[in-house]
Protein backbone atom coordinates (compact mmCIF):
# COMPACT_ATOMS: atom_id res chain seq x y z
CA UNK A 1 0.00 0.00 0.00
CA UNK A 2 1.42 3.35 -1.04
CA UNK A 3 0.71 6.71 0.47
CA UNK A 4 0.64 9.84 -1.62
CA UNK A 5 2.46 12.76 -0.10
CA UNK A 6 0.95 16.19 -0.77
CA UNK A 7 3.70 18.78 -1.12
CA UNK A 8 2.50 22.10 0.26
CA UNK A 9 3.71 25.17 -1.66
CA UNK A 10 5.20 26.61 1.53
CA UNK A 11 6.81 23.65 3.32
CA UNK A 12 7.37 23.17 7.00
CA UNK A 13 10.97 23.46 8.24
CA UNK A 14 11.31 19.71 8.85
CA UNK A 15 9.93 18.68 5.45
CA UNK A 16 11.99 21.11 3.38
CA UNK A 17 15.32 19.43 4.10
CA UNK A 18 14.00 16.08 2.89
CA UNK A 19 13.08 17.36 -0.58
CA UNK A 20 15.09 16.74 -3.68
CA UNK A 21 17.09 19.55 -5.36
CA UNK A 22 14.54 19.69 -8.18
CA UNK A 23 11.65 20.12 -5.72
CA UNK A 24 13.53 22.80 -3.82
CA UNK A 25 14.17 24.62 -7.09
CA UNK A 26 10.48 24.45 -8.02
CA UNK A 27 9.47 25.81 -4.62
CA UNK A 28 11.97 28.65 -4.89
CA UNK A 29 10.69 29.50 -8.36
CA UNK A 30 7.07 29.46 -7.13
CA UNK A 31 8.01 31.81 -4.28
CA UNK A 32 9.72 34.18 -6.68
CA UNK A 33 6.65 34.21 -8.95
CA UNK A 34 4.32 34.85 -5.99
CA UNK A 35 6.33 37.84 -4.84
CA UNK A 36 6.61 39.09 -8.42
CA UNK A 37 2.80 39.19 -8.59
CA UNK A 38 2.77 41.17 -5.33
CA UNK A 39 5.32 43.58 -6.78
CA UNK A 40 3.23 44.10 -9.92
CA UNK A 41 0.23 44.98 -7.73
CA UNK A 42 2.18 47.56 -5.71
CA UNK A 43 3.74 49.09 -8.82
CA UNK A 44 0.44 49.19 -10.70
CA UNK A 45 -1.42 50.93 -7.86
CA UNK A 46 1.52 53.30 -7.47
CA UNK A 47 1.34 54.21 -11.16
CA UNK A 48 -2.39 54.87 -10.89
CA UNK A 49 -1.83 57.17 -7.90
CA UNK A 50 0.94 58.88 -9.85
CA UNK A 51 -1.20 59.52 -12.92
CA UNK A 52 -4.65 60.42 -11.59
CA UNK A 53 -4.74 61.65 -7.96
CA UNK A 54 -1.14 62.84 -8.26
CA UNK A 55 0.01 64.31 -11.56
CA UNK A 56 -3.37 65.01 -13.15
CA UNK A 57 -4.59 66.86 -10.05
CA UNK A 58 -1.29 68.74 -9.96
CA UNK A 59 -1.74 69.83 -13.56
CA UNK A 60 -5.31 70.92 -12.82
CA UNK A 61 -4.14 72.95 -9.82
CA UNK A 62 -1.44 74.63 -11.89
CA UNK A 63 -3.89 75.47 -14.66
CA UNK A 64 -6.08 77.24 -12.12
CA UNK A 65 -3.12 79.12 -10.65
CA UNK A 66 -1.88 80.16 -14.08
CA UNK A 67 -5.31 81.24 -15.29
CA UNK A 68 -5.86 83.45 -12.26
CA UNK A 69 -2.19 84.50 -12.04
CA UNK A 70 -2.46 83.94 -8.33
CA UNK A 71 -0.76 81.19 -6.32
CA UNK A 72 -3.49 81.44 -3.67
CA UNK A 73 -6.35 80.71 -6.04
CA UNK A 74 -6.27 76.95 -5.35
CA UNK A 75 -7.29 75.35 -2.08
CA UNK A 76 -4.29 74.27 0.03
CA UNK A 77 -6.12 71.01 0.69
CA UNK A 78 -6.09 70.22 -3.04
CA UNK A 79 -2.39 71.02 -3.27
CA UNK A 80 -1.67 68.74 -0.32
CA UNK A 81 -3.85 65.99 -1.80
CA UNK A 82 -1.69 66.11 -4.94
CA UNK A 83 1.52 65.93 -2.91
CA UNK A 84 0.34 63.10 -0.67
CA UNK A 85 -0.72 60.98 -3.65
CA UNK A 86 2.65 61.52 -5.32
CA UNK A 87 4.87 60.86 -2.32
CA UNK A 88 2.97 58.11 -0.50
CA UNK A 89 0.66 56.79 -3.21
CA UNK A 90 3.34 56.60 -5.92
CA UNK A 91 6.83 56.45 -4.39
CA UNK A 92 5.66 54.92 -1.11
CA UNK A 93 3.89 52.07 -2.94
CA UNK A 94 7.03 51.47 -5.01
CA UNK A 95 9.20 51.29 -1.86
CA UNK A 96 6.87 48.86 -0.09
CA UNK A 97 6.50 46.63 -3.14
CA UNK A 98 10.24 46.47 -3.82
CA UNK A 99 10.86 45.90 -0.11
CA UNK A 100 8.56 42.86 0.02
CA UNK A 101 10.04 41.50 -3.21
CA UNK A 102 13.58 41.90 -1.86
CA UNK A 103 12.95 39.72 1.19
CA UNK A 104 15.74 37.09 1.21
CA UNK A 105 14.62 33.85 -0.39
CA UNK A 106 17.59 31.70 0.57
CA UNK A 107 15.91 30.49 3.74
CA UNK A 108 14.12 27.43 2.46
CA UNK A 109 12.66 26.61 5.88
CA UNK A 110 10.78 29.88 6.16
CA UNK A 111 7.55 30.64 4.27
CA UNK A 112 7.49 33.72 2.10
CA UNK A 113 5.03 36.28 3.59
CA UNK A 114 2.79 36.58 0.54
CA UNK A 115 -0.38 36.94 2.63
CA UNK A 116 1.17 39.72 4.74
CA UNK A 117 2.32 41.51 1.58
CA UNK A 118 -1.17 41.42 0.07
CA UNK A 119 -2.78 42.54 3.35
CA UNK A 120 -0.34 45.43 3.60
CA UNK A 121 -1.06 46.40 -0.02
CA UNK A 122 -4.82 46.53 0.62
CA UNK A 123 -4.46 48.61 3.79
CA UNK A 124 -1.93 51.00 2.24
CA UNK A 125 -3.86 51.52 -0.99
CA UNK A 126 -7.18 52.10 0.79
CA UNK A 127 -5.54 54.48 3.28
CA UNK A 128 -3.85 56.65 0.63
CA UNK A 129 -7.05 56.78 -1.44
CA UNK A 130 -9.02 57.70 1.68
CA UNK A 131 -6.59 60.52 2.48
CA UNK A 132 -6.79 61.92 -1.05
CA UNK A 133 -10.61 61.83 -0.94
CA UNK A 134 -10.73 63.51 2.48
CA UNK A 135 -8.55 66.36 1.18
CA UNK A 136 -10.65 67.16 -1.89
CA UNK A 137 -14.09 66.31 -0.49
CA UNK A 138 -15.17 67.88 2.82
CA UNK A 139 -17.66 65.10 3.58
CA UNK A 140 -16.81 63.85 7.10
CA UNK A 141 -13.16 64.77 6.64
CA UNK A 142 -12.65 65.04 10.41
CA UNK A 143 -13.26 61.31 10.64
CA UNK A 144 -11.54 60.09 7.45
CA UNK A 145 -8.34 62.12 7.84
CA UNK A 146 -7.10 60.52 11.11
CA UNK A 147 -8.37 57.07 10.08
CA UNK A 148 -6.40 57.22 6.83
CA UNK A 149 -3.26 58.37 8.65
CA UNK A 150 -3.60 55.56 11.21
CA UNK A 151 -4.03 52.95 8.48
CA UNK A 152 -0.95 54.21 6.62
CA UNK A 153 1.13 53.92 9.77
CA UNK A 154 -0.31 50.45 10.49
CA UNK A 155 0.57 49.27 6.97
CA UNK A 156 4.15 50.50 7.36
CA UNK A 157 4.53 48.79 10.74
CA UNK A 158 3.23 45.55 9.21
CA UNK A 159 5.74 45.92 6.38
CA UNK A 160 8.61 46.61 8.78
CA UNK A 161 7.73 43.72 11.08
CA UNK A 162 7.50 41.32 8.13
CA UNK A 163 10.71 42.40 6.43
CA UNK A 164 12.74 42.47 9.66
CA UNK A 165 11.86 38.84 10.39
CA UNK A 166 13.21 37.57 7.07
CA UNK A 167 16.99 37.63 6.83
CA UNK A 168 19.54 35.60 4.90
CA UNK A 169 21.10 32.63 6.66
CA UNK A 170 24.43 34.44 7.00
CA UNK A 171 22.90 37.70 8.31
CA UNK A 172 24.36 37.22 11.78
CA UNK A 173 27.79 36.24 10.49
CA UNK A 174 28.74 39.50 8.80
CA UNK A 175 28.28 43.20 9.37
CA UNK A 176 25.64 45.15 7.53
CA UNK A 177 26.99 47.05 4.55
CA UNK A 178 27.12 50.85 4.92
CA UNK A 179 24.43 51.47 2.28
CA UNK A 180 22.01 49.37 4.33
CA UNK A 181 22.47 51.70 7.30
CA UNK A 182 21.55 54.62 5.04
CA UNK A 183 18.38 52.81 3.98
CA UNK A 184 17.61 52.02 7.63
CA UNK A 185 17.99 55.73 8.46
CA UNK A 186 15.64 56.55 5.58
CA UNK A 187 13.17 53.96 6.88
CA UNK A 188 13.25 55.70 10.24
CA UNK A 189 12.49 58.93 8.36
CA UNK A 190 9.58 57.12 6.68
CA UNK A 191 8.25 56.12 10.09
CA UNK A 192 8.65 59.65 11.46
CA UNK A 193 6.81 61.07 8.44
CA UNK A 194 3.86 58.72 8.97
CA UNK A 195 3.84 59.30 12.74
CA UNK A 196 3.91 63.07 12.19
CA UNK A 197 1.08 62.65 9.69
CA UNK A 198 -1.03 60.87 12.31
CA UNK A 199 -0.36 63.63 14.85
CA UNK A 200 -1.16 66.39 12.34
CA UNK A 201 -4.36 64.71 11.14
CA UNK A 202 -5.63 64.17 14.69
CA UNK A 203 -4.89 67.82 15.46
CA UNK A 204 -6.69 68.95 12.29
CA UNK A 205 -9.72 66.81 13.11
CA UNK A 206 -9.86 68.32 16.59
CA UNK A 207 -8.94 71.96 16.01
CA UNK A 208 -8.56 72.61 12.27
CA UNK A 209 -10.95 74.66 10.15
CA UNK A 210 -10.33 72.43 7.11
CA UNK A 211 -8.42 69.33 5.97
CA UNK A 212 -5.24 71.25 5.08
CA UNK A 213 -2.16 71.80 7.22
CA UNK A 214 -1.31 75.44 7.99
CA UNK A 215 1.45 76.81 5.75
CA UNK A 216 4.21 76.90 8.39
CA UNK A 217 3.46 73.38 9.57
CA UNK A 218 3.24 72.14 5.98
CA UNK A 219 6.69 73.58 5.19
CA UNK A 220 8.24 71.66 8.08
CA UNK A 221 6.40 68.47 7.16
CA UNK A 222 7.56 68.72 3.54
CA UNK A 223 11.17 68.98 4.70
CA UNK A 224 10.69 65.76 6.67
CA UNK A 225 9.07 63.69 3.92
CA UNK A 226 11.46 64.85 1.18
CA UNK A 227 14.90 65.40 2.74
CA UNK A 228 14.27 63.17 5.76
CA UNK A 229 12.64 60.23 3.98
CA UNK A 230 12.89 60.10 0.18
CA UNK A 231 16.31 61.66 -0.37
CA UNK A 232 18.19 59.28 2.01
CA UNK A 233 16.42 56.31 0.43
CA UNK A 234 17.75 57.33 -2.97
CA UNK A 235 21.24 57.94 -1.57
CA UNK A 236 21.32 54.48 -0.01
CA UNK A 237 20.29 52.64 -3.14
CA UNK A 238 22.52 54.88 -5.24
CA UNK A 239 25.48 53.81 -3.12
CA UNK A 240 24.47 50.19 -3.66
CA UNK A 241 23.73 50.20 -7.38
CA UNK A 242 25.09 53.21 -9.27
CA UNK A 243 28.67 51.94 -9.22
CA UNK A 244 27.29 48.92 -11.13
CA UNK A 245 24.88 50.73 -13.43
CA UNK A 246 27.24 53.61 -14.30
CA UNK A 247 30.54 51.76 -14.02
CA UNK A 248 31.80 53.95 -11.16
CA UNK A 249 34.11 53.24 -8.27
CA UNK A 250 32.38 52.21 -5.06
CA UNK A 251 30.98 54.96 -2.86
CA UNK A 252 33.06 56.62 -0.14
CA UNK A 253 31.09 55.19 2.75
CA UNK A 254 32.53 57.44 5.48
CA UNK A 255 31.62 60.52 3.45
CA UNK A 256 28.12 59.17 2.78
CA UNK A 257 27.63 58.68 6.52
CA UNK A 258 28.68 62.30 7.05
CA UNK A 259 26.23 63.42 4.35
CA UNK A 260 23.35 61.59 6.05
CA UNK A 261 24.24 63.06 9.45
CA UNK A 262 24.43 66.62 8.07
CA UNK A 263 21.22 66.09 6.10
CA UNK A 264 19.25 64.95 9.14
CA UNK A 265 20.64 67.91 11.08
CA UNK A 266 19.16 70.12 8.37
CA UNK A 267 15.81 68.34 8.64
CA UNK A 268 15.85 68.81 12.41
CA UNK A 269 16.63 72.52 11.98
CA UNK A 270 13.69 72.84 9.59
CA UNK A 271 11.43 71.08 12.10
CA UNK A 272 12.33 73.71 14.70
CA UNK A 273 11.70 76.54 12.24
CA UNK A 274 15.32 77.59 11.64
CA UNK A 275 15.08 77.85 7.85
CA UNK A 276 18.44 79.49 7.25
CA UNK A 277 20.42 76.88 9.19
CA UNK A 278 18.37 74.10 7.58
CA UNK A 279 19.09 75.39 4.08
CA UNK A 280 22.83 75.65 4.69
CA UNK A 281 23.00 72.14 6.15
CA UNK A 282 20.98 70.66 3.28
CA UNK A 283 23.31 72.21 0.71
CA UNK A 284 26.35 70.78 2.54
CA UNK A 285 24.68 67.38 2.86
CA UNK A 286 23.79 67.28 -0.84
CA UNK A 287 27.35 68.20 -1.85
CA UNK A 288 28.79 65.54 0.46
CA UNK A 289 26.43 62.89 -0.94
CA UNK A 290 27.38 63.73 -4.53
CA UNK A 291 31.06 63.44 -3.64
CA UNK A 292 30.51 60.22 -1.69
CA UNK A 293 28.60 58.46 -4.47
CA UNK A 294 31.10 59.72 -7.10
CA UNK A 295 28.20 60.53 -9.39
CA UNK A 296 30.18 62.97 -11.56
CA UNK A 297 33.43 61.03 -11.62
CA UNK A 298 34.39 59.25 -14.88
CA UNK A 299 33.39 55.62 -15.29
CA UNK A 300 36.08 52.99 -14.77
CA UNK A 301 33.99 50.18 -16.27
CA UNK A 302 31.39 49.87 -18.99
CA UNK A 303 27.98 51.04 -17.68
CA UNK A 304 25.39 48.28 -17.42
CA UNK A 305 22.67 49.67 -19.68
CA UNK A 306 21.55 46.41 -21.28
CA UNK A 307 17.92 46.75 -22.31
CA UNK A 308 17.89 50.51 -21.63
CA UNK A 309 18.27 53.64 -23.70
CA UNK A 310 21.87 54.80 -23.97
CA UNK A 311 20.96 58.12 -22.31
CA UNK A 312 20.40 56.40 -18.94
CA UNK A 313 23.71 57.55 -17.34
CA UNK A 314 23.10 61.16 -18.45
CA UNK A 315 19.67 61.39 -16.85
CA UNK A 316 20.87 59.78 -13.61
CA UNK A 317 23.56 62.45 -13.34
CA UNK A 318 21.03 65.15 -14.30
CA UNK A 319 18.85 64.06 -11.39
CA UNK A 320 21.71 64.75 -8.97
CA UNK A 321 22.22 68.16 -10.58
CA UNK A 322 18.57 68.89 -9.76
CA UNK A 323 19.10 67.78 -6.17
CA UNK A 324 21.90 70.32 -5.73
CA UNK A 325 19.82 73.02 -7.45
CA UNK A 326 16.94 72.26 -5.08
CA UNK A 327 19.19 72.68 -2.04
CA UNK A 328 20.63 75.95 -3.37
CA UNK A 329 17.15 77.28 -4.16
CA UNK A 330 16.08 76.44 -0.62
CA UNK A 331 18.96 78.54 0.68
CA UNK A 332 17.92 81.37 -1.67
CA UNK A 333 14.30 81.08 -0.55
CA UNK A 334 15.25 81.41 3.11
CA UNK A 335 16.81 84.77 2.28
CA UNK A 336 14.88 86.29 -0.64
CA UNK A 337 11.51 84.59 -1.10
CA UNK A 338 8.53 86.97 -0.83
CA UNK A 339 5.62 85.05 -2.34
CA UNK A 340 6.42 81.34 -2.23
CA UNK A 341 7.90 81.22 -5.73
CA UNK A 342 11.44 80.26 -4.79
CA UNK A 343 10.21 77.82 -2.15
CA UNK A 344 7.93 76.20 -4.72
CA UNK A 345 10.71 76.05 -7.31
CA UNK A 346 13.03 74.39 -4.78
CA UNK A 347 10.41 71.84 -3.84
CA UNK A 348 9.64 71.07 -7.50
CA UNK A 349 13.33 70.74 -8.40
CA UNK A 350 13.66 68.16 -5.63
CA UNK A 351 10.44 66.17 -6.07
CA UNK A 352 10.35 66.13 -9.88
CA UNK A 353 13.90 66.92 -10.96
CA UNK A 354 15.58 64.59 -8.48
CA UNK A 355 13.11 62.11 -6.98
CA UNK A 356 10.84 61.53 -9.98
CA UNK A 357 13.80 61.51 -12.39
CA UNK A 358 15.56 58.86 -10.31
CA UNK A 359 12.38 56.77 -10.10
CA UNK A 360 11.99 56.92 -13.88
CA UNK A 361 15.66 56.01 -14.41
CA UNK A 362 16.15 53.28 -11.84
CA UNK A 363 12.57 52.01 -12.02
CA UNK A 364 12.89 51.18 -15.70
CA UNK A 365 16.16 49.43 -14.89
CA UNK A 366 15.05 47.15 -12.05
CA UNK A 367 11.25 46.71 -12.24
CA UNK A 368 11.22 44.58 -15.42
CA UNK A 369 13.81 42.23 -13.87
CA UNK A 370 11.95 41.97 -10.57
CA UNK A 371 8.58 41.34 -12.26
CA UNK A 372 9.42 37.94 -13.69
CA UNK A 373 12.77 38.60 -15.40
CA UNK A 374 11.25 40.70 -18.18
CA UNK A 375 12.88 43.16 -20.58
CA UNK A 376 11.80 46.79 -20.76
CA UNK A 377 9.11 47.17 -23.39
CA UNK A 378 10.44 50.25 -25.22
CA UNK A 379 13.81 52.02 -25.02
CA UNK A 380 12.48 54.93 -27.09
CA UNK A 381 9.56 55.43 -24.76
CA UNK A 382 12.00 55.47 -21.85
CA UNK A 383 14.00 58.26 -23.51
CA UNK A 384 10.83 60.20 -24.34
CA UNK A 385 9.63 59.98 -20.73
CA UNK A 386 12.93 61.23 -19.32
CA UNK A 387 13.33 64.00 -21.90
CA UNK A 388 9.78 65.32 -21.45
CA UNK A 389 10.14 65.27 -17.67
CA UNK A 390 13.49 67.10 -17.84
CA UNK A 391 12.23 69.84 -20.18
CA UNK A 392 9.05 70.28 -18.17
CA UNK A 393 11.01 70.60 -14.93
CA UNK A 394 13.31 73.25 -16.40
CA UNK A 395 10.31 75.30 -17.54
CA UNK A 396 8.42 74.82 -14.28
CA UNK A 397 11.26 75.73 -11.91
CA UNK A 398 12.30 78.82 -13.88
CA UNK A 399 8.81 80.11 -14.65
CA UNK A 400 7.58 79.57 -11.09
CA UNK A 401 10.27 81.91 -9.78
CA UNK A 402 9.57 84.57 -12.43
CA UNK A 403 5.78 84.35 -12.11
CA UNK A 404 5.32 84.12 -8.35
CA UNK A 405 8.00 86.70 -7.60
CA UNK A 406 6.50 89.11 -10.20
CA UNK A 407 9.70 89.21 -12.24
CA UNK A 408 7.88 88.59 -15.52
CA UNK A 409 4.18 88.24 -16.40
CA UNK A 410 5.07 86.02 -19.38
CA UNK A 411 5.99 83.22 -16.98
CA UNK A 412 2.35 82.60 -16.07
CA UNK A 413 1.80 81.33 -19.63
CA UNK A 414 4.77 78.97 -19.40
CA UNK A 415 3.53 77.20 -16.27
CA UNK A 416 0.74 75.21 -18.03
CA UNK A 417 3.17 74.16 -20.78
CA UNK A 418 5.56 72.78 -18.18
CA UNK A 419 2.73 70.89 -16.51
CA UNK A 420 1.60 69.25 -19.75
CA UNK A 421 5.17 68.22 -20.60
CA UNK A 422 5.69 66.65 -17.19
CA UNK A 423 2.33 64.88 -17.40
CA UNK A 424 3.31 63.52 -20.82
CA UNK A 425 6.63 62.24 -19.47
CA UNK A 426 5.00 60.58 -16.47
CA UNK A 427 2.36 59.02 -18.73
CA UNK A 428 5.04 57.66 -21.08
CA UNK A 429 6.77 56.06 -18.09
CA UNK A 430 3.52 54.46 -16.91
CA UNK A 431 2.74 53.14 -20.40
CA UNK A 432 6.22 51.65 -20.65
CA UNK A 433 5.94 49.86 -17.30
CA UNK A 434 2.41 48.59 -18.00
CA UNK A 435 3.57 47.51 -21.46
CA UNK A 436 6.44 45.63 -19.84
CA UNK A 437 4.11 43.85 -17.40
CA UNK A 438 1.48 42.97 -20.01
CA UNK A 439 3.28 42.54 -23.33
CA UNK A 440 6.77 41.36 -22.46
CA UNK A 441 7.13 37.63 -21.71
CA UNK A 442 8.46 36.50 -18.36
CA UNK A 443 11.74 34.60 -18.46
CA UNK A 444 11.56 33.44 -14.86
CA UNK A 445 10.62 29.89 -15.85
CA UNK A 446 13.81 29.63 -17.90
CA UNK A 447 16.03 30.63 -15.00
CA UNK A 448 17.44 27.78 -12.88
CA UNK A 449 16.64 29.67 -9.68
CA UNK A 450 16.37 33.32 -8.76
CA UNK A 451 17.91 33.70 -5.33
CA UNK A 452 18.91 37.35 -5.11
CA UNK A 453 18.43 40.81 -6.53
CA UNK A 454 21.92 40.69 -8.00
CA UNK A 455 21.05 37.67 -10.11
CA UNK A 456 17.86 39.36 -11.29
CA UNK A 457 19.90 42.30 -12.59
Residue range 240-287, pLDDT digits in tens: 989 999 999 999 999 999 999 999 999 999 999 999 999 999 999 999
Residue 391's domain comprises: 305-457
Residue 170 belongs to some domain of the structure: no
Please state the domain count of the chain: 1
Residue 140 belongs to some domain of the structure: no
Residue 183 belongs to some domain of the structure: no
Contacts by residues 160-167 (CB-CB < 8 Å, ≥ 24 positions apart): 160/187, 160/191, 162/100, 162/103, 162/113, 162/116, 162/117, 162/120, 163/99, 163/100, 163/103, 165/113, 166/103, 166/104, 166/107, 166/110, 166/112, 166/113, 167/104, 167/107
Q: Residue 453 pLDDT > 60, yes or no?
A: no
Residue 263 belongs to some domain of the structure: no
3-state secondary structure of 210: coil
Residue range 129-175, pLDDT digits in tens: 999 999 998 889 999 999 999 999 999 999 999 888 766 555 555 67
Residue range 310-352, pLDDT digits in tens: 999 999 999 999 999 999 999 999 888 888 889 999 999 999 9
- What is the spatial distance between Cα 450 and Cα 160, in angstroms, rounded to a whole number? 23
Question: For 371-410, where are the alpha helices, taking DSSP H only?
Answer: 379-404
Residue 404 belongs to some domain of the structure: yes
Residue 351 belongs to some domain of the structure: yes
Residue 310 belongs to some domain of the structure: yes
Helices (H) and strands (E) in the chain, counts: 18, 0
Residue 157 belongs to some domain of the structure: no
Q: What is the pTM of this model?
A: 0.89
Amino acid sequence: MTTKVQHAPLPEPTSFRSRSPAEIMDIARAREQALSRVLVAYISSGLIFMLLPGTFLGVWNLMQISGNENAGSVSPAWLQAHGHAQIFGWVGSFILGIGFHSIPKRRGDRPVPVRAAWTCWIIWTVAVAMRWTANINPWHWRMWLPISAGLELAAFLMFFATVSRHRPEDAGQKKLEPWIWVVIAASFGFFLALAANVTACVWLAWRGAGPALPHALDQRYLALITWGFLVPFIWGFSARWLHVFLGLRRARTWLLAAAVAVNFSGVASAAFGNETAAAILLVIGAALAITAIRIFEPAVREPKTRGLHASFPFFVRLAYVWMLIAALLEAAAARWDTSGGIWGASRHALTVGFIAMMVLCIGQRILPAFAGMRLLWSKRLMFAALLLLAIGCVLRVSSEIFAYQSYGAWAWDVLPVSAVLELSGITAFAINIFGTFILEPSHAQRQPMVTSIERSL
